[in-house]
Structure 1
């Protein structure tokens, strides 16, 4: 068994299937399969279980994966130390951020980071997909959720706060929700997950309640949702940062302020794969963004 064989096993399991591993390694699928078979033959044990779509590690395969990942990380760190010796911080960071939070809050942080480290390439995806975050070879993802996945490292960026809000004109003519159940019949303006029934979780001290919602305006574009609220088209159920300037000016009023409302989760998390080598660029980015989130003085939302 050699180092190349171990790191090949790591690449195959990280990719999830032989075809994707071949694409990433710029090899043929047959070549990848051949080297994997040779490794298993030399050990005398099956290292991965193959299905039509995925490969999964056996118990011994998982043990060798951990050893291979440690070796691969050490090699990457050594290579980076040599190539960046005497140079300013360089590299590429590929990240995925929620469309609303990314545009309205994180954009300023990303620009500040780029000014601080001009040699780092930022490759930013604005999306809200939550399943299989790392399938697009993303280094870092930012997502709102109640419980982060067990297979990822999750760094807490702060609580998520939603507000029920409307224009003063709408409040005067139609009235604002007084009870939580009033959200069932109010003309709601909010975001939703395609194919999933929309619910709002509401917390009052130690009590948790849940209400099914039927919005009349649905969008992942929070700037559009804000415009709809200001136009008096209904009650917005949006992250507080979307309307904070409008609240300050009195262009928007809120209701149900005694409740802590949440649609997609209660916290924002910065997520990345465990045991994956972080370049100096990625490590610097993680610490910079966490410092910005914790120093912003406000909660965050999707």
Structure 2
């Protein structure tokens, strides 16, 4: 049975989503072409209807309550379902059109995806492509992500998975640095070396190695840490120390002998190790723009062929 009271709340819930995304009544009101006071009254009405406080309002910012966050996440599911309903009417259009939002780790985005952006946009002139550099897990539904690329052996089981290949982690340094400081022959030797790492979390300087059944975990140190792969690679090339990279970041520098592998007999493990996974939500009616993007990337990057 259709709940008439619930239907009446749908526009208010959609407006609430925009308020949360924009972070202010003023910004959201501007996009909705209404006054901030009108939007404030809408929020009061919605909170009264739901019998819950959604947002704490201060003079400087809006703070979403725990209950407000739960309502927001469910409202996003509603909005995504509405978007899919709209897509049904355009699914058979000859020319794919609209916006695709893609999330990927910074290193993968820069080294692997970036070269395919312009050719894809040239092939599909009616498609807009929004790319977001995201290192770590991201909620596709919450943040409106259409496709996420992950470097992991534990993909999200709730999403469709296309595995594009595997990625390995490579430890390397410049020949000049190794000539000056010596070449590590065991992971423990890294304690005596300058090492470059991400410094995003408190454990990014803890590196794990495996050789047969032997496992070694080393806490490394260095004067230079940066969460940008190309900046870190530049530091390694210039002799600042030993760096850890995905193979797709470092292969070109290895081939040109600008850097050399270190501890190549050891396998390195981390949170960003394993399969190159392309994931997206399961849907009965996939928009044409999303379908052509997935097919294009699968054809260009399928390293398992």
Deviations 1:233-289 (A, max 9, x none): 4222222222212323444321222322245532455566899x9643235434543
- CA separation of 1:75/1:164 partners in 2, compared to 1, >3 Å: closer, same or farther? closer
Q: Which residue of 1 aligns with 2:60?
A: none
Matched position secondary structure for 2:236? helix
1:8 partnered with 2:21: no
- How many residue pairs get aligned? The number is 290
Q: Which residue of 2 aligns with 1:54?
A: 64
Mean Cα deviation higher: 120-129 or 106-115: 120-129
Matched position secondary structure for 2:120? helix
The answer (yes or no) to whether the contact 1:10–1:69 under 8 Å persists in 2 is no
Matched position secondary structure for 1:217? coil
- CA separation of 1:133/1:21 partners in 2, compared to 1, >3 Å: closer, same or farther? farther
The answer (yes or no) to whether the contact 1:50–1:56 under 8 Å persists in 2 is no
Q: Which residue of 2 aligns with 1:254?
A: 261
Q: Which residue of 2 aligns with 1:285?
A: 293
With normalisation by structure 2, the TM-score equals: 0.70
Distance in 2 between residues matched to 1:80 and 1:57, nearest whole Å? 30
The answer (yes or no) to whether the contact 1:15–1:21 under 8 Å persists in 2 is yes
Q: Which residue of 2 aligns with 1:237?
A: 244
Mean Cα deviation higher: 123-132 or 205-214: 123-132
Distance in 1 between residues matched to 2:15 and 2:299, nearest whole Å? 32
Distance in 1 between residues matched to 2:100 and 2:9, nearest whole Å? 27
- CA separation of 1:229/1:40 partners in 2, compared to 1, >3 Å: closer, same or farther? closer
Residue 91 (structure 1) shift: 0.5
Mean Cα deviation higher: 104-113 or 256-265: 256-265
Distance in 2 between residues matched to 1:98 and 1:106, nearest whole Å? 10
Mean Cα deviation higher: 208-217 or 153-162: 153-162
For the aligned residue pairs, the C-alpha RMSD in angstroms reads: 4.4
| Residue from 160, 163, 168 that aligns with 2:170 | 163
Q: Which residue of 2 aligns with 1:110?
A: 117
1:176 partnered with 2:176: no
- CA separation of 1:145/1:85 partners in 2, compared to 1, >3 Å: closer, same or farther? closer
Residue 99 (structure 1) shift: 3.0
Matched position secondary structure for 1:211? strand
Residue 118 (structure 1) shift: 2.3
- CA separation of 1:38/1:240 partners in 2, compared to 1, >3 Å: closer, same or farther? same
Q: Which residue of 1 aligns with 2:195?
A: 188
Matched position secondary structure for 1:111? helix
The answer (yes or no) to whether the contact 1:13–1:57 under 8 Å persists in 2 is no
Write out aligned runs for 1:1-302 (5 A): 1-3=5-7, 5-6=9-10, 8-9=12-13, 12=16, 16=20, 19=23, 23-24=27-28, 26=32, 27-28=34-35, 30-32=37-39, 34-35=41-42, 38=45, 46=51, 49-51=54-56, 53-57=63-67, 65=74, 69=77, 72-73=79-80, 75-82=82-89, 86-126=93-133, 128=135, 138-144=145-151, 153=159, 155=161, 159-193=166-200, 198-205=205-212, 208-267=215-274, 270=278, 279-290=287-298, 292-293=300-301, 295-297=302-304
Mean Cα deviation higher: 27-36 or 204-213: 27-36
Distance in 2 between residues matched to 1:158 and 1:10, nearest whole Å? 39
The answer (yes or no) to whether the contact 2:87–2:286 under 8 Å persists in 1 is no
The answer (yes or no) to whether the contact 2:198–2:204 under 8 Å persists in 1 is no
Deviations 1:167-215 (A, max 9, x none): 3343344321111111222122343317766222323446654221212
